[in-house]
C-alpha cells in the first residue's frame, strides 16, 4: 500500500438550468509497485440512497487500499460523513 494516498474533493455549481443529475463523479487511480499509474476508473454515482451508500463505501475502501481518489460533487463534503471522517483527520 502507498503511503502518500491523494484525495481531492471539488464542489461544483449546478448547471445552467439548476439541475444536477448525479450525486458525484469519482476517479480512482491505482499504481504499480514502481509507483506508476496502473489503472484509472471513473464512476458516476446516482443521486439516491443506493448511490450515496455505494459512493461512501467505494471511496473509503479505495483510500484504505492506497488508491488515489478525485471527486466532483454538487454537495459539500459533510454530506458524506464517512468520507469526511477519514479524509479530515
Please tell me the pTM assigned to this model.
0.88
Name the nearest CA neighbour of 21 among 72, 77, 57: 72
Annotate 19-79 with DSSP letters as a single string: ----SEEEEEEEE-TTS-EEEEEEEEE-SSHHHHHHHHHHHHHHHHTT-EEEEEESS-GGG
Q: Give residue limits of the domains in the chain.
A: 7-87
Per-residue confidence at 3, pLDDT binned at 50, 70, 90? Answer: confident
Check whether 80 has a pLDDT greater than 70.
Answer: yes
In tens, the pLDDT along 8-47 reads 999 988 666 766 679 999 999 999 999 899 999 999 999 9
Helix (H) or strand (E) holding 86: helix 81-87
Say whether 83 sits in a helix, a strand or coil: helix
Amino acid at each position: 500500500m502507498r503511503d502518500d494516498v491523494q484525495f481531492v474533493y471539488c464542489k461544483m455549481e449546478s448547471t445552467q438550468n439548476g439541475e444536477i443529475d448525479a450525486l458525484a463523479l469519482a476517479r480512482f487511480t491505482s499504481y504499480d509497485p514502481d509507483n506508476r499509474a496502473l489503472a484509472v476508473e471513473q464512476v458516476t454515482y446516482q443521486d439516491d440512497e443506493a448511490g450515496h451508500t455505494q459512493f461512501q463505501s467505494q471511496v473509503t475502501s479505495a483510500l484504505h487500499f492506497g488508491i488515489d481518489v478525485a471527486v466532483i460533487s454538487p454537495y459539500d463534503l459533510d454530506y458524506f460523513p464517512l468520507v469526511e471522517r477519514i479524509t479530515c483527520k
